[in-house]
């Protein structure tokens, strides 16, 4: 732990950079955010798909995440419809994952001698991904700073070996470390930079714009149509024969199909934010997305990356 920099970080981005450096030093591939709208870092194929099959894996990344129903027009001190998650996935889960995790908190300036860190039961289940795992929410002085999960099943498949997943809610964690009460006041870059920018400078306006669009403007008929299109395309991709006549290769298109699944999932979230999905319909929609996720998982485990013999 002596290599860890003990000084306090000064900005949101410094916390991200320190996490990147820490997990890179621990041997993770620092992959980049997925270029699609997702509700959480778990949806990144580097987690969902790579937690399947027997191949070892270690990846860390930032993932912009969108939860339309959490929009508060940038007014709420800590609720955002667009925020960042930091995600680590290691397969098989190493025996010292808890210690590795605590080391990462220290790396971003949490003084282990002054704070109260607790692992509080929180079983994770994603009905849309057909996935579940056991673990905790990690509390720092009563605040949830991370989710810690041992994946047991993803897309209906048993995880063998088991992946350990860490998810940090970056804004909340950073606000705590930087001692900021309102997310919009948080320094985004260094406060002494030539052009110091706050989180609000970067995101306040977008929170307002998206909150209005999510809640009142989004065209629900169009979103519904898009949902159905994504669903159909996902199926069509998976229905295509594995043997590609053009290259003569066997190419199962698990990732392009999974992109459509991600799309359907996000469209469902948007429809939900518009309040047009009833309680009973909700279950049906979740079931439809789950069916796609399962089909994608089934396809992925047929591929080399998914552990099938080449």
Partner 1 sequence: MADLLLELFSEEIPARMQKRASEDLKKLVTDGLVEAGLTYESAGAFVTPRRLALSVVGLTDRSPDLREERKGPRVDAPEKAIEGFCRGAGVSRDQLDVRDEKKGQVYFALIEKPGRAAADIIAEVVPNVVRNFPWPKSMRWGSGQLRWVRPLHSILCILHDAEGAEVVPFDVDGIAAGNTTRGHRFHAPDVIKVNSFDDYAGKLAAAHVVLDSASRADTIWNDATNGAFAQGLDVVEDKGLLAEVSGLVEWPVVLMGDIAEDFLGLPPEVLQTSMKEHQKFFSVRNPKTDRIEKFVTVANRETADNGVTILAGNQKVLFARLSDAKFFWENDLRIAETGGLQWVEKLQNVTFHNKLGSQADRIERIAALAREIAPVVGADADEAEEAARFAKADLSSEMVYEFPELQGLMGRYYAAAAGKPDAVAAAAQEHYSPLGPSDDVPSAPVSVAVALADKIDTLTGFWAIDEKPTGSKDPFALRRAALGVIRLVLENGVRVNASDWFSKGYKGVDVADLLSFFHDRLKVYLRDQGISHDVIDACLAMPNNDDFTLLVKRAEALQGFVKSEDGTNLLQGYKRANNILSQAEAKDGVEYSYGADVKYADSDEERALFAALDTTEGAITPAMEAEDFGAAMTAMASLRGPIDGFFEAVQVNADSEVVRRNRLNLLSRIRTVMGQVADFSKIEG
Tell me if 113 contacts partner 1 by CB under 8 A: yes
To partner 1, the closest distance from the beta carbon of 285 in angstroms equals 13
Binders of partner 1 in range 10-69 (CB under 8 A): none
Alpha helices in the chain (DSSP H): 12-25, 45-48, 97-107, 170-178, 199-212, 220-239, 254-273, 279-300
Whether the CB-CB separation of 271 and 222 falls below 8 Å is answered with no
CB of 280 to partner 1, least distance (A): 4
Per CB under 8 A, which of residues 130..159 are in contact with partner 1? 133-136, 140-143, 150, 152, 159
Q: How far is the CB of 112 from partner 1 (least distance, A)?
A: 6
With contacts defined by CB under 8 A, name the span among 5-13, 20-28, 32-40, 127-135 that binds partner 1: 127-135
> Counting contacts by CB under 8 A, is residue 278 touching partner 1?
yes
Rounded Cα distance, 291 and 309, in Å: 25
CB atoms under 10 Å from CB of 143, counted, come to 15
Around Cβ 310, how many Cβ atoms within 10 Å?
A: 5
Our measurement of the distance from residue 191's CA atom to the centroid of its chain's CA atoms, rounded to an integer in Å, reads 28
CB of 284 to partner 1, least distance (A): 10
Residue nearer to partner 1 on the CB measure, 36 or 143: 143
Member of 50, 66, 67, 79 binding partner 1 (CB under 8 A): 79
CA atoms of 54 and 73, how far apart (whole Å)? 44
Binding residues for partner 1, how many (CB under 8 A)? 44
- Asked if 87 and 41 touch (Cβ cutoff 8 Å), the reply is yes
- Candidate ranges 14-22, 59-67, 109-117, 239-247; the one touching partner 1 (CB under 8 A): 109-117
Span of 203-211, 257-265, 273-281, 288-296 interacting with partner 1 by CB under 8 A: 273-281
Distances 122 to 69, 171, 287 between C-alpha atoms, Å: 22, 20, 23
* Residue closer to partner 1 (CB basis): 34 or 136: 136
Q: List C-alpha distances in Å: 142 to 78, 145, 157, 309.
A: 15, 9, 34, 47
CA–CA separation, 62 vs 85, rounded Å? 6
Instruction: Specify the residue, 34 or 187, whose C-beta has the smaller distance to partner 1.
Output: 187
Binding stretches for partner 1 (CB under 8 A): 72, 76-79, 92-95, 98, 112-121, 123, 133-136, 140-143, 150, 152, 159-162, 164, 176, 181, 275-276, 278-281
């Amino acid at each position: 732990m002596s290599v860890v920099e003990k000084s306090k970080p000064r900005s949101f981005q410094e916390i991200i950079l320190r996490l990147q450096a820490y997990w890179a030093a621990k041997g993770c591939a620092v992959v980049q955010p997925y270029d699609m709208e997702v509700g959480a870092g778990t949806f990144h194929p580097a987690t969902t798909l790579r937690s399947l099959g027997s191949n070892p894996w270690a990846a860390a990344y930032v993932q912009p995440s969108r939860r339309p129903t959490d929009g508060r027009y940038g007014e709420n001190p800590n609720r955002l419809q667009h925020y960042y998650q930091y995600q680590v996935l290691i397969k098989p889960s190493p025996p010292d994952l808890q210690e590795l995790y605590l080391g990462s908190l220290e790396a971003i300036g949490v003084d282990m001698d002054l704070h109260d860190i607790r692992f509080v039961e929180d079983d994770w289940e994603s009905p849309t991904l057909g996935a579940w795992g056991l673990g905790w929410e990690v509390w720092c002085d009563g605040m949830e700073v991370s989710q810690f999960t041992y994946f047991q099943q993803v897309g209906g498949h048993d995880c063998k070996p088991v992946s350990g997943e860490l998810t940090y809610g970056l804004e909340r964690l950073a606000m705590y470390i930087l001692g900021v009460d309102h997310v919009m006041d948080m320094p985004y870059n260094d406060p002494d930079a030539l052009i110091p920018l706050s989180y609000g400078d970067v995101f306040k306006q977008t929170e307002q714009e998206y909150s209005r669009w999510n809640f009142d403007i989004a065209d629900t008929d169009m979103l519904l149509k898009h949902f159905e299109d994504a669903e159909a395309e996902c199926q069509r991709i998976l229905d295509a024969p594995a043997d590609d006549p053009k290259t003569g290769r066997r190419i199962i298109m698990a990732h392009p199909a999974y992109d459509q699944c991600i799309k359907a999932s996000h469209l469902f979230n948007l429809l939900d934010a518009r309040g047009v999905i009833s309680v009973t319909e909700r279950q049906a929609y979740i079931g439809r997305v789950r069916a796609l996720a399962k089909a994608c998982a089934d396809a992925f485990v047929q591929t080399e990356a998914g552990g099938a013999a080449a």
